[in-house]
């Protein structure tokens, strides 16, 4: 929780110092650096559009996944098996090059006396995705957040994604998927549960 508070304070402090006008000016500078004229017709509104797009791309900094997962339901008639969501699509941005990461998340948890609305789990993915990220960090953040918020018997997260920092620049290798996983609690200690999770994915 301390790290979340400090990150929020850091972002709030930056926003107080950096105005929208300054952000738009920075985009204009990048356009000039790239070799084009920000005053020409097709680019005049680009700084405003980019700044507005960034607000959407990085809206996850304005939300707390812990708050989203705080509303739970205890009337589950003793259900204590795997709860799993497959194929949660996401769009994020690489923190190294600020280019898109596109992929899917599969996640599961084993509840203890309470469950959370399944849409809240999808929103949790979006909150972490809509920040500057590495896939490894995002995988761990999602798993830790579910684990800390719901206190389940176990959590499993599997992410498969494509990184434009690899497909459109640098080595330029298209169709290369990156896979990351995180297993906590019983999913980590009980290999049969891990296998069930992987089998549900059809892997």
Q: How confident is the model over 26-73, as pLDDT tens digits?
A: 999 999 999 999 999 999 999 999 999 999 999 999 999 999 999 999
Q: What is the pLDDT of residue 68?
A: 95
> Which residues participate in catalysis according to the annotation?
94-97, 135, 163, 165
Whichever domain contains 131, its CATH number is 3.30.1130.10
Q: Tell whether 39 and 114 lie within a shared domain.
A: no
**Residue 18, helix vs strand vs coil:** coil
Q: How confident is the model over 71-90, as pLDDT tens digits?
A: 999 988 989 999 999 999 99
Q: Tell whether 49 and 69 lie within a shared domain.
A: no
Q: How confident is the model over 75-130, as pLDDT tens digits?
A: 889 899 999 999 999 999 999 999 999 999 999 999 999 999 999 999 999 999 99
Q: Tell whether 89 and 110 lie within a shared domain.
A: yes
**Residue 17, helix vs strand vs coil:** helix
Q: What is the pLDDT of residue 1?
A: 45
Q: What is the pLDDT of residue 10?
A: 56
Backbone angles phi, psi at 154, to 5 degrees: -170, 160
Q: Tell whether 52 and 104 lie within a shared domain.
A: no
In order of 81, 94, 105, 128, 143, the CA distances from 117 in angstroms are: 16, 29, 17, 18, 16
Q: How confident is the model over 163-199, as pLDDT tens digits?
A: 988 878 788 888 889 999 999 999 999 999 999 999 9
Q: Tell whether 166 and 70 lie within a shared domain.
A: yes
Band of the pLDDT at 5, cuts 50, 70, 90? very low
Domain end position, chosen among 34, 57, 80: 57
Q: Tell whether 23 and 112 lie within a shared domain.
A: no
Domain tally, the chain: 2
Host domain of residue 29 = 2-57
Q: b/e map of 35-68 (b: 16 or more CB within 10 Å)?
A: eeebeeeebeebbeebbeeeeebbebbebebeeb
Q: Where are the alpha helices (DSSP H) in the chain?
A: 2-17, 20-34, 46-57, 65-68, 118-129, 135-150, 164-167, 186-189, 191-200
Band of the pLDDT at 18, cuts 50, 70, 90? confident
């Amino acid at each position: 929780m301390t790290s979340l508070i400090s990150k929020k304070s850091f972002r709030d402090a930056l926003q107080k110092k950096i105005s929208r006008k300054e952000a738009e000016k920075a985009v204009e500078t990048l356009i000039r650096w790239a070799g084009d004229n920000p005053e020409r017709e097709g680019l005049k509104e680009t700084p405003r559009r980019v700044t507005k797009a960034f607000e959407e791309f990085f809206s996850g900094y304005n939300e707390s996944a812990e708050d989203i997962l705080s509303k739970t339901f205890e009337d589950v008639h003793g259900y204590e098996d795997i709860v799993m969501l497959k194929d949660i699509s996401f769009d994020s941005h690489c923190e190294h090059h600020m280019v898109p990461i596109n992929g899917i998340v599969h996640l599961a948890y084993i509840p203890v006396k309470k469950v959370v609305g399944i849409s809240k789990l999808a929103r949790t993915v979006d909150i972490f995705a809509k920040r500057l990220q590495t896939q490894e960090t995002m995988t761990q953040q999602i798993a830790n957040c579910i684990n800390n918020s719901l206190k389940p018997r176990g959590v499993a997260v599997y992410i498969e994604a494509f990184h434009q920092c690899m497909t459109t620049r640098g080595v330029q290798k298209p169709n290369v998927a990156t896979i990351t996983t995180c297993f906590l609690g019983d999913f980590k200690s009980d290999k049969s549960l891990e296998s069930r999770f992987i089998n549900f994915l059809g892997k």
